[in-house]
Amino acid sequence: MEKKTDICRIEIKGEFSIFSAAALRQQLLDALDTGEEVEVDLSAVSEMDSAGMQLMVAAKKEASVRNKALRFTGHSPVVFELVELCDLSGHLGDPLLISSRTN
């Protein structure tokens, strides 16, 4: 976790799945405690399952409850594919995903 000004940045590498969900959940909650804005880089995610997707949705909801900004960036192909498959690009609200649906 890296903090610059009020933006806390997290990079998720490797699996974003049921096997890593508990640790990643805590990391996301800690980041929401730390910064006014949280940016999660997903470019190095190599595998993702429904637990990872649920964690993304829950983190967005938690950020909203706390009135903080949470952005997922650098969506790897596996993340992008699952978000599209679940039709959650609009719910997650990330500019890359929203613009891809209109193209």
Contact 45, 13 (CB under 8 A): yes
What is the share, in percent, of the chain residues with pLDDT greater than 70? 84
pLDDT for position 66:
94
pLDDT for position 92:
79
pLDDT for position 98:
47
d(CA 92, CA 103): 18
Contact 10, 38 (CB under 8 A): yes
Q: For 34-72, how does the pLDDT look when each residue is reduced to its tens digit (9 = 90+)?
A: 878 999 999 999 999 999 999 999 999 999 999 999 999
Q: In what order do the strands lie in the sheet with 37-48?
A: 2-4, 7-16, 37-48, 69-73
* One-letter amino acid for residue 36 of the chain: E
Concatenating the DSSP letter of every residue in 26-91 gives HHHHHHHHH-SEEEEEEEEEEEE-HHHHHHHHHHHHHHHHTT-EEEEES--HHHHHHHHHTT-HHH
Confidence category of residue 84, pLDDT binned at 50, 70, 90: confident
